[in-house]
Structure 1
Amino acid sequence: MSNTTYYAPHGGHPAQTELLTDRAMFTEAYAVIPKGVLRDIVTSHLPFWDNTRLWVLARPLSGFAETFSQYIVEVGPGGGSDKPEQDREAEGVLFIVEGELELTLLGTRHILTPGGYAFIPPASDWSVRNTSGEPARFHWIRKRYQAVDGIPHPEAFVTNEQDIEPIPMPGTEGRWVTSRFVDISDMRHDMHVNIVTFQPGGVIPFAETHVMEHGLYVLEGKAVYRLNQDWVEVEAGDFMWLRAFCPQACYAGGPGPFRYLLYKDVNRHMNLTLNSAR
């Protein structure tokens, strides 16, 4: 993985001469936000963040994906926040795709470079600052933590993808591997944010249909992805947003690996009360 690169949007604005047609789509089962959508005009800003803008890829929507939000955050030189999270019940994952970011988490300073990964438990004291001369870009995935009596909250940690040994999917001869940042048997965690890698020609050989919601951001490569009844071409920089039970499969198109950052909700009973807070 030493030569791994991660796609990061830079914004800008399309020329008046460009075609309007793109691959963006929003259905009752899934959404695709292609990289061409992530322009200056669709950026957002947050309270208490300096010299920062972001693209909101996903947010809870009733009847769609309800458990998480996902941003791509761009922090300019000197920018950042000393009060980044206002929701004391929110946990988060930061994943760095470009540049360098200084994270202070529970009093400990970390320098995050591409591939850097931080898990931030709810009610944590943390801040981020870009002390370099170039913009830093990272994914920020947020979820309201579902506490369980008798199970402690998960602990904060910081690592890098380069330090994680990918786990092959059985029966795939290494064509399909997952870099897991959290042990799947650790019941403290109610979400997983992993990196999935397919070698050229690798496939998900059946239509996965399950309760877990997904956010999939393509970090590298291209593929044809099955979403509900449709086959959709995707490439580095595209984002797919899948509601629970949306059938899914894929075929990695090559010539290089197809890789994506994957969110899913896990390890909790199904909520039996409609419209209640998670």
Structure 2
Amino acid sequence: MTYAFPPGGLPDQSVNPEGRAIFTDAYAFIPAITMRDIVTSLLPGWENTRAWIIARPLSGFAETFAQYAVELAPGGGSDTPDPDPLAEAGLFVATGRLRLTLDGADHDLSAGSYAYIPAGAKWTLWNAGEDVAQFHWIRKRYEDVPGLNRPDPILTSDQAVAPSVMPNTDKWATTRFADPDDLRHDMHVNIVTFQPGGRIPFAETHVMEHGLYVLQGTARYLLNKDWVEVGPGDFMWLRAFCPQACIATGNEPFRYLLYKDVNRHPKLAL
């Protein structure tokens, strides 16, 4: 199994700069070709690291989460990865080997590994190999609820979790890293898989915000009123209530890493 990641580098001068990137009131589409070296960020507290910050809270758009694609050179990493003590994290490894130390325990991560890190946990992350390591990082401020403890850490992988097939089809399945019935979780990070020809057979329109990073395959994806051709490394960023659907194309599965906020009452006032 392979997992897409930003290509970096810089296109040749012969490439037509008229791109496919889209930013609207309802969604943003950031194609892989735009995720180049010159748009990376360096992060305080991180060594030999660069990041593509592909989503951040924006007033009047999507406000619950930030999403990064992070690349660690050999020896790169951090003992102070997140400056926000209220932030929870979902880490999904695309390539390489990582050493996660979580509340004093060491864990080795490789391609396909997923780690959920609760708010308030003490963690460090370092490249444990001789090659570049790449991972996707989703950050959200945890919403505490009276009577509910914070979730436990999760350490698993794409390979270890059996996909849950959707009703009435064998072409649409979801790999759920957290128990959807566990109300302690206020965000889910899943992998959604469509076999060729599979589809979302209606325009989903719902309160959850989304980040969708295409890991594999191709599709036609409905974003609000627009059908967009998407493929490996493309990112879709949807605000609440943006209609969405898809039809998988090509000869291989279409898979994407999905973020959504869940299990909390909407705030009625700031």
CA contact (8 A) 2:54 2:68 kept: yes
Aligned counterpart, 1:101? 98
Stretch deviating more after TM superposition (101-110 or 193-202): 101-110
Deviation at 1:182, TM superposition (A): 0.7
Q: 2:244 aligns with which of 228, 234, 248?
A: 248
Aligned counterpart, 1:138? 135
Does residue 158 (structure 1) correspond to residue 155 (structure 2)? The answer is: yes
1:151-176: CA deviation from partner (whole Å, max 9, x where unpaired): 0000112111100000000011x200
Deviation at 1:69, TM superposition (A): 0.2
Deviation at 1:92, TM superposition (A): 0.4
Does residue 232 (structure 1) correspond to residue 228 (structure 2)? The answer is: yes
Distance (Å, rounded) in 1 between the aligned partners of 2:66 and 2:192:
20
CA contact (8 A) 2:7 2:33 kept: no
1:124-155: CA deviation from partner (whole Å, max 9, x where unpaired): 11001112111100000000000000000001
Does residue 203 (structure 1) correspond to residue 199 (structure 2)? The answer is: yes
Does residue 5 (structure 1) correspond to residue 2 (structure 2)? The answer is: yes
**Paired amino acid for 2:194:** F
Aligned counterpart, 1:220? 216
Q: 1:84 aligns with which of 81, 84, 103?
A: 81
CA contact (8 A) 1:221 1:257 kept: yes
**Paired amino acid for 1:182:** A
Percent identity, please: 61
Distance (Å, rounded) in 2 between the aligned partners of 1:81 and 1:181:
24
Distance (Å, rounded) in 2 between the aligned partners of 1:224 and 1:151:
40
Aligned counterpart, 1:188? 184
Tell me the TM-score normalized by structure 1: 0.96
Deviation at 1:9, TM superposition (A): 2.0
**Secondary structure at 1:163 match in 2:** coil
Aligned counterpart, 2:123? 126
CA contact (8 A) 1:199 1:254 kept: no
Distance (Å, rounded) in 2 between the aligned partners of 1:171 and 1:119:
31
Q: Structure 1: which 5+ residue stretches go unaligned?
A: none
**Paired amino acid for 1:145:** Y
**Paired amino acid for 1:261:** L
Distance (Å, rounded) in 2 between the aligned partners of 1:231 and 1:77:
40
CA contact (8 A) 1:209 1:248 kept: yes
1:71-99: CA deviation from partner (whole Å, max 9, x where unpaired): 00000000100010110100000000011
Aligned counterpart, 2:33? 36
Distance (Å, rounded) in 2 between the aligned partners of 1:219 and 1:15:
24
Deviation at 1:8, TM superposition (A): 1.6
Tell me the TM-score normalized by structure 2: 0.99
Distance (Å, rounded) in 2 between the aligned partners of 1:219 and 1:131:
23
Aligned counterpart, 2:21? 24
Deviation at 1:254, TM superposition (A): 1.9
CA contact (8 A) 2:100 2:109 kept: yes
Q: Please provide the CA RMSD for this pair.
A: 0.7
